[in-house]
Amino acid sequence: MRQVRTIVATCALIAATAFAATACGSEEQASAEAAPVTSSAAPSANGYSDSDGGSGAGGIAQAPDVATPAQAIPTAAGTPAVSPAPNRDDVNVDARDFEQAGGQYFFQSPSGNVLCGFNSSNAPGTIVGCQVRYSVPGNTGRECLNTENNTYGVKINQDGTVEQICTNQGIFVGGPERPRVLEYGQVIGVTGTFCRSTEAGITCYDGDRGFMISRDVNIAF
């Protein structure tokens, strides 16, 4: 009888131990299932994980927000700004280097498109003038053909008027050799009349009157 009770007690002890082990295993599994899943990948700037190679949710790349500076709005074609008239202090070349016979002075733009002259004997009554190989219609409405025998020109007359013209001959080209270049940034002055060379064109002044001319500009003011 004692042997039977010992066997029953031993079985009960084994059953209790097995139940406890099963319960512990169930609790550990439940804890593992309840724990949040974490990723070692750092979040991207747009809030999506880079775990898929930086492609964001669904594998679709998300472009970062970029602050694009506002672009300048092109203005309608019109009269460009003209620099104030220079004075004697602004002159930075010696007019004598451009002088030809008879008190005439000739120069050309660095591009060779514009040729100009002071006191040209081929343009009586003109203080200074320029002619071009190619330009655009003047702001006074003058239109030329842009051919060898009908090119644009503009001049300041002795009476102070500024006149846009078409010419069929070289009246501001000087002698047989092409005239000296007036480089960009240079200013020449002859008897109170000035011309300035810039990349925008040749601008000549007689007081507050004058003109600006180049391949893309042809204005009298």
User: What is the structure's pLDDT at 95?
Assistant: 98
Q: Single out the residue of 136, 138, 95, 134 nearest to residue 117, CA to CA.
A: 95
Give the tokens for residue 139. 């702001």
pLDDT at res. 172 = 98
CB atoms closer than 10 angstroms to residue 98: 22
* Structure confidence at residue 56 as a pLDDT band (50, 70, 90): very low
pLDDT at 78: 57
Lowest mean pLDDT among 20-24, 137-141, 156-160, 181-185: 20-24
Grade residue 44 by pLDDT with cuts at 50, 70 and 90.
very low
pLDDT at 146: 96
Query: What is the pLDDT, as a whole number, of residue 109?
Result: 98
pLDDT of residue 214: 98
Q: 130: pLDDT confidence band, cut at 50, 70 and 90?
A: very high
Spatial strand order of the sheet with 151-157 comes to: 99-100, 104-108, 114-118, 126-132, 151-157, 162-167
69-97 mean pLDDT: 73
Out of 22-36, 96-110, 151-165, 175-189, pick the least confident: 22-36
The answer to whether the beta carbons of residues 144 and 151 sit under 8 Å apart is yes
Tokens 């439940």 identify what position? 30
Only one residue has tokens 């343009």, namely 123
pLDDT at 60 over 90: no
Smallest CA-to-CA distance from 152 within 211, 196, 72, 77 is with: 211
Distances (CA, A) of 173 to 163, 180, 184, 198, 213: 18, 10, 19, 19, 15
What is the Cα–Cα distance from 54 to 50, expressed in whole angstroms?
4
The pLDDT, as a whole number, for residue 11 is 41
Q: What are the boundaries of each domain within the chain? A: 89-220
